[in-house]
Each structure stands twice: as C-alpha cells, then as structure tokens.
Structure 1
C-alpha cells in the first residue's frame, strides 16, 4: 500500500488512550512515536520527519488548537497532515480544527475502521502534495517555491527594485557546430551548473535559460540587500569559474570559452506571466531591456562585464570599474554611461 511504513506521531495526554491508539496504528503497519502534550509534540516535529499527526485537543501546557496554530505558522510543519481525535462534541470545535489546517476530525473513542480509512486518505493526500512539491523544485528555484508557498500563485506583478543580469557564451553557435550535439549538451550542463552556483551564492535567481544564455534577477521574488553589489560579485565569480573551466579545457586540447555579462539596476515589474495553465516567474521593464543591451555591448567594448550607471554607483566604493563612454542603445532614447570590469 502507498502509506505502508509511514511515521505517525500520536499526541495524547491520557496514557491509556495514548498506548491504545499507538498500538492500533502499529497494527496498520506504521511506525509510531508518542507525545504526552503539545509542547513535546512540537519539539519532536521540529527535530525529525513525520508523515502524519494524530492530535488530541484537550491537553495540559499546550492544547491541540495551539499546536495547529504553531504548525500553520511554520513552513516546515504546515504540510504535515493532522487528524484530530477529540471527545468534544461541539460543531464549533470541529470547524475550528479544520480552519487551523486539520485534514480530518475523529470522535473518541476512535473507531478502528474509520481510523484506518482516515489515515490512508490523509497519507495519500500528503503523497500527492510531496510529488507536486518535488515537481515544482525541478522547474522553479527555491526562492520562487518559497514565494509561492507564502503568497500563493496569481498572474500579474509588483514593482520591485533590483538588478538584472544577462549572460551568454561568445561564439557558441560556431562552437556547437564543431563539437557535435552530445558534447554540446554536456558543455552546456557544466556551464549552467557553474553559473547557477555563482548566481545562487550571491542571492540571485535564474529565471530564464535560452540556449547558451540566461537571465538572472537579484532582489525578486524575495527582497535582497544591495542587489547591485550581489549581481556584480556574482559576475566576477562567474568569470573566475569560466577561467577554471578553461584551464580544464586547455589541458584536454579544447578551445576556451568566453562569456559576456550585462547588469542593470532599477525599478521593474516582477511576477508571474502566462496563463493559469502555464506560467513562469519573470521581470519586465526598461531595466531588463537595458541589461540585455549591456550584455550584447560587451562584444563592442571587448569587456567581460558591462554595467549601467546605477549599478556602478552602488558598487564603486568596493569594486573598481572603468568608464567606457556614453552610448545610445537600439530602441532607447536616453543615452547610458557604461562601466566595465
């Protein structure tokens, strides 16, 4: 069965009830832990992994309502199914339990047949939630996952202040023709792994990958202190990682890689774009367009990193950069002073 071998925590202050309920659960093939009050239960839930909680309502020190309030407020605990077991007969108490996140409500004395059915149903729902979360992790960053968990999904966006980065591999089309599809995929996977590591280490979120290029955001969906500085430091780390990768490639007789990185800082709209069936987290606005133009401009100025004036102003006290002049990029009416590292 899907739920076989699950770990259940029985929370009950009455010792006889606790032992009998634990025995009933063990007879269903599950592993059982017990807690005599809500405070002990919360400690156990935070220290180990549990698949389901059988929770009494009336307990000393901390009752079942308080336990559910704490679980609801804790991202690590809120997805653990809770089946309330109670001798309380009022409809109001059952409603309150459901509002606090309980998956089910069983009256004492607990009927063994109902117990088996409710445990099976709750564990199956947890399995489906876990599979959904695993799928989300494959296609979304931890930051986007956390944002969805805290704020929920809604199409649209909000104004944020942050930094946007674009980067790609120079001459990749020519390179891919020379090395063949299998080696091309392996090279891209290695490059992405290095770039993701450098960007993530400084709080950035990769939200778009296209061929050999990617776009990263610093400051959304979660706020980030000094997003410009984080973006530039990530860019410097990316260059260093490419240098180390090139050392390996050189030893294997392979041509080196060269990347270009463009960074712009400013206001943008961040949020979910698409439809309710298919959407992605992204940013739009002039800052995004400028970062893309700066990345392309690294070829013209023969530099690895190009940033706008707002980014330079935020980092100039800590990271040396040189002015490369003022340029008016395609599609823009206002000239941009470009700085490079």
Structure 2
C-alpha cells in the first residue's frame, strides 16, 4: 500500500472531548490529511450533508446524538452509507464492538488510540473506500444512471416488480448489407455515432437503454424509476431519434455514403421490471407482453413500410396529442389474435399538437 502521505484524505473527527479532538487532528495532519471536527453526532451529520469526506473517526459516548445513532443515520442515507467509519471509544465489551460493526462501522479502536495502529487502520479503510469508489464508477460506466441509482437505493436482488411502462425496440434497416460494403472500423465508428444520437434522444425523455445487440436496442420508459406519461415520452424519443438520423443522413449523403434508415416499435402495458440472470452476471430488464409486442412491432415496420409503429395502448395514452395513422389489425407473430397497429408519422418538424 502506498504511503498515505501521498494520498491525503478529508477526515471528519467526531468526539465531544476537546483534548481528544485536538490530539486526533494533530496526528491526522501529520499524516497529510485534512481534518474537520464535530463535537457531537448531530453536528457531524450536518457537516456530512454540507461537504464530502473520505473517512470519519467517531466516538460513541456523546451528548445530543451518540455514535450508535450516527451509524444508524448513515445506514439510512444512500449517499453516506458507504462512508468508512472507524469508532474510537473507551467503551469496553464485545457487545458494544459488535453493535458498531453490525451498524456498519469499518473498525473499532479502544482509547487511548495507538497512533501506529490508527495509521494502519486508516490506510486500510481508505483503500477499501478507493476500491468501492472504483466499483461504483464501473457501475456508472456500464449501466444507466437510473439503474445505478436503483442499485444504490435498493441494492441488488434477482427478481422484479410489476410496473406500468412503455417499451421501445429500435433497429437499423439493411444493416447486414451496410456492414458488407464497408471496413469494420467504419462500421464501429458508425455504430458509435448512431448510439450517441439515439441514447441522447432516449435519455433526454427519461428512457433507459437496457439492452444493445449489434445495431438493435431495447429501451424502457417508466422503470427502474417511475415516469409520468411514459407513453408520450417514448413517442417523443422516437421522433427525436428519427429527426437526428435525418440530420446525420444529410452529412452522410454529402460524403457519398448511404443513408441510414431505422425502425421503431413501441408498446405500453404492465411489465415485470428487475434484475435477471445470476448473482455472477445479471442485467436490468423488463419482461411481459408489452416487451414482446414492441419487438414484433419493430420487425413489422418493414412490412408496414413505416418508421414508427405503436400499439393501441400507447395510442390511447397519447390522448390525441400526436397525429397517428391507423393501419388496422395486423397478424403479429406470437399473437393469437390480430393486433391494432398505428403509425406515428414524422414530417421533418415537431408534430405534437397542442394539448387539449
């Protein structure tokens, strides 16, 4: 482990004894750390809400709010629950130590605290925090902010819950032929450009892209975080996607490249949203009839020769705010009865009419 003098931390010392605070501060500053102090648990929580700290040294016996109560408060706060806490107390007994550890404390040191032991325990706690921060950054990089927020608030558990949501499937048309006509590097660059545009459209309307397979994607509106008017949000996102692809095509055609065409299927209904897979490898997704129907509608865009297709539930939820074209019933693969299908036209401009 690197010398902590080369990795300074911001430490909060919480102790009602002024002498203890001064001596602890001196020892920590000699190690290169910056220090703030609190005289009791209430003051400590106020400082934690105002600023960012890497570690807290916490006494147990304090007025107004003792150390046990502080640990309980930290455990209830998603933003603070991972803050490393080293309890420094004169309380004896295994029961007190066990209670602190059970409440989330990283370690427990008896007073008077040995400076060499304190340095070692601080180093170990900061290293664990660094690894946890790296893990959080990896989660933020490879999942959406909404899923990361859900993990932080609820934790990971296989299974799901029933939600009303809108599901979108989108795909690049004739992608196989496009791949065959250009170098692999050019295809990767095209996909990165494409996903930059469609992610922006989906995310800006509260959607979550939870699945990417080659040139296709699945997005959810209304999970993991609730979203008011999720059907309209999904349609707005689809229209923005088509508009941005149209602008991209102007540049591609000017560069003598073929234009991109996409198909989008959208369906609304009750789904089961949650984590599926195993504890070693899992993904956040939705399962239900609306998911299957959205996927089939995206495929049906080829036969219907329309860019955006929606189901009857989505159409009803729009309440006339968008122009739609009724295409009548269609026999969708996997559905026993014909399904009413509607197209949402894109005319090169905003086509949402004034709300009634």
Q: Same fold (TM over 0.5)?
A: yes
Q: Are 1:28 and 2:45 an aligned pair?
A: no
For residues 30-179 of structure 1, what are the structure 2 equivalents within 5 Å? Answer: 30-179=33-182
Is residue 257 of structure 2 the alignment partner of residue 281 of structure 1?
A: no
* From 216, 219, 229, the counterpart of 2:219: 216
Residue in structure 1 matched with residue 352 of structure 2 by the alignment: none
User: SS at the partner of 2:209?
Assistant: strand
Once residues 57 and 197 of structure 1 are traced to their aligned partners in structure 2, the CA distance between those partners, rounded to angstroms, is 48
Task: Tell which deviates more after alignment, 240-249 or 195-204.
Answer: 240-249
CA shift for structure 1 position 148 = 2.2
Between the aligned partners of 1:321 and 1:43, the Cα distance in structure 2 is 53
Whether 1:328 aligns to 2:331 is yes
Q: CA deviation at 1:115?
A: 0.8
CA distance in 2, matches of 1:151, 1:47: 24
Distance in 1, Cα, partners of 2:179 & 2:50: 49
Instruction: Give the distance between the partners of 1:45 and 1:86, measured in 2 at CA.
Output: 21
Q: How much is the aligned-residue C-alpha RMSD, in angstroms?
A: 1.9
Q: Offset at 1:245?
A: 1.9
Q: Structure 2: how far apart are the matches of 1:145 and 1:309?
A: 32
Whole-angstrom distance in 2 between the partners of 1:26 and 1:70: 27
1:269 to 261, 269, 272: 272
| 1:202 match | 205
TM-superposed CA distance for 1:266, in Å, is 1.1
Correspondent of 1:316 among 319, 323, 335: 319
Stretch of structure 1 that moved more, 178-187 or 271-280? 271-280
Distance in 2 (CA, whole Å) between partners of 1:243 and 1:39 is: 56
Per-residue deviation, 1:160: 2.2
Distance in 2 (CA, whole Å) between partners of 1:167 and 1:14 is 63
Cα distance in 2 for partners of 1:25, 1:156 equals 45
Match in the other structure for 1:226: 229
Which ranges of structure 1 fall in alignment gaps of 5 or more residues? none
In the TM superposition, what is the alpha-carbon distance from 1:140 to its structure 2 partner? 1.7
1:254 aligns with 2:252: no
In the TM superposition, residue 6 of structure 1 has moved relative to its aligned partner by: 1.9
User: What's the offset of the Cα at 1:36?
Assistant: 2.8
Provide the aligned length of Structure 1 versus Structure 2: 341
Specify every segment of 5 or more residues in structure 2 that has no aligned partner in the other structure, as ranges. 345-356
Q: Counterpart of 2:187?
A: 184
